[in-house]
Amino acid sequence: MDKRTVPEKIFMVFNIAFLTLLCATMLYPLWNTLAKSFSRNDLVMGGHVFLWPKGFNIKSYEALLNESLLWTSFRNTVFVVVIGTLLRIVVILMASYGLSKRDLMGRKIITNLFIFTMYFSGGMIPGFLLMRYLGIYDTLWALILPGTVIVFYMILAKNYFEQIDPALEESAMMDGASYFTIFARIILPVSKAIISVLFIFTIVGLWNIFMPAVLYTISPRVSVLQLYIRQIVLEGMDDKYNMNVTEFISEDMLIMGAHTKRMALLAVTSIPIILVYPFFQKHFAKGVMVGSVKG
């Protein structure tokens, strides 16, 4: 039997309605993108497509998947995400674990030096010159190495490690375990929550990497998905102009143009990153809450 009072029931109905509306608001852009990607280009450009495809066709996907630059960009992005994520996670976890030790000499000074870099950086031009000096300009390593240590992520992990019961480490040290053994076999297994948070933040950040790619790469061979999307967007500007010059419109342009191609590209590039969340969702909320609170 439902023992909730009338105000509680009203609040529950309002809460469900509000969350449903909020969910629909967030899902609509993705759904609209999918609908446009399967529609005729002229109907999309005319603003006639909202919830359902009109003039259903898959020519945008066929044209997109036949472009070699897409596969080059996809391969490069996967390389940056996989190598960059592993490198960042290892470095951040080890650095934050060391800084979580209260008996570390100069701990506060080292921590403040890291935090200083959150507010002040070398700047765009010095960064560009540094990439040239290190010999990694116009390579994928220029997108990976400069962002190896994200101080905000390190602080989250550091605060999380400080919440772990010291008795776990003390008992292991009494058995003769080294700090590395304790870190690998005791700390990491009980830190799945913060590791999941770091994985999601890092994967999403590297998958959507744009400004470093613009600044530090120039060759198509090292293009990433965000640069490819920018190219399609720029093509869409020309497509919009051509659609206004009616005497030059072809049947193919009416069915498939840069606009529908862009929608298809956004759908294709969004699906992999959306599929990442279910694998880490279980630990994500806990990791953010514990890692963001110091106490």
Instruction: Give the pTM.
Output: 0.80
Regarding predicted confidence, which is higher, 122 or 19?
19
pLDDT tens digits along 163-178: 888 888 888 888 888 8
Q: Report the pLDDT value the prediction gives residue 189, as an integer from 0 to 100.
A: 86
> Nearest to residue 185, comparing CAs of 169, 200, 207, 201?
169
On whether residue 227 sits in a domain, the answer given is yes
Compute the average pLDDT of residues 90-106: 89
Among residues 77, 37, 74, 70, the alpha carbon closest in space to that of 53 is found at: 37
- Examine residue 101 and state whether it is found in any structural domain, yes or no: yes
Q: Is the pLDDT of residue 197 over 50?
A: yes
The pLDDT value recorded for residue 280 is 65
Position 71 in a domain: yes
Place of tokens 């840069």: 258
pLDDT exceeds 70 at position 3: no
Residue at 213 is within a domain = yes
**Does residue 57 lie within any of the structural domains?**
yes
Q: What pLDDT digit, counting tens, does each position of 213-262 carry? A: 999 999 989 999 989 888 877 766 555 544 444 444 444 545 556 677 78
How many angstroms separate the CA atoms of 68 and 72, rounded? 6
Looking at the predicted structure, is the pLDDT value of residue 1 above 60?
Answer: no
Angle at 287 between CA 284 and CA 293, to 5 degrees: 140
Answer yes or no: is 167 within a domain: yes
- As for how many domains the chain has, the answer is 1
Q: Please, what is the average pLDDT of the chain? A: 81
Higher pLDDT: 83 or 256? It is 83
Tell me which of 29-33, 72-76, 178-182, 277-281 is least confident. 277-281
Confidence of residue 72 (pLDDT cuts 50, 70, 90): very high
Torsion angle of the four alpha carbons 233, 237, 239, 243, in this order, in degrees rounded to the nearest 10: 140
Q: Are 199 and 51 in contact (CB under 8 A)?
A: no
Q: What is the DSSP string of the chain?
A: -----HHHHHHHHHHHHHHHHHHHHHHHHHHHHHHHHTS-HHHHHTT--SSS-SS---HHHHHHHT-HHHHHHHHHHHHHHHHHHHHHHHHHHHHHHHHT-TT-TTHHHHHHHHHHHHH----HHHHHHHHHHHT-TTSTHHHHGGGS--HHHHHHHHHHHHTS-HHHHHHHHHTT--HHHHIIIIIGGG-HHHHHHHHHHHHHHHHT--HHHHHH--SGGG--HHHHHHHHHHHHHHHHHHHH-GGG--HHHHHS-HHHHHHHHHHHHHHHHHHHHHHHHHHHHHHHHHHT---
Q: Which domain holds residue 137?
A: 6-291
The mean pLDDT of 174-188, rounded to a whole number, is: 84
If you search the block for the tokens 């629909």, which residue do you land on?
24
Residue predicted with more confidence, 178 or 143: 143
**1 lies in a domain?**
no
- pLDDT recorded at residue 77: 94
pLDDT score of 84: 94
CATH code of the domain in which 266 resides: 1.10.3720.10
Are the beta carbons of 73 and 81 closer than 8 angstroms? Answer: no
pLDDT over 50 at 263, yes or no? yes
Q: Is the pLDDT of residue 70 over 90?
A: no
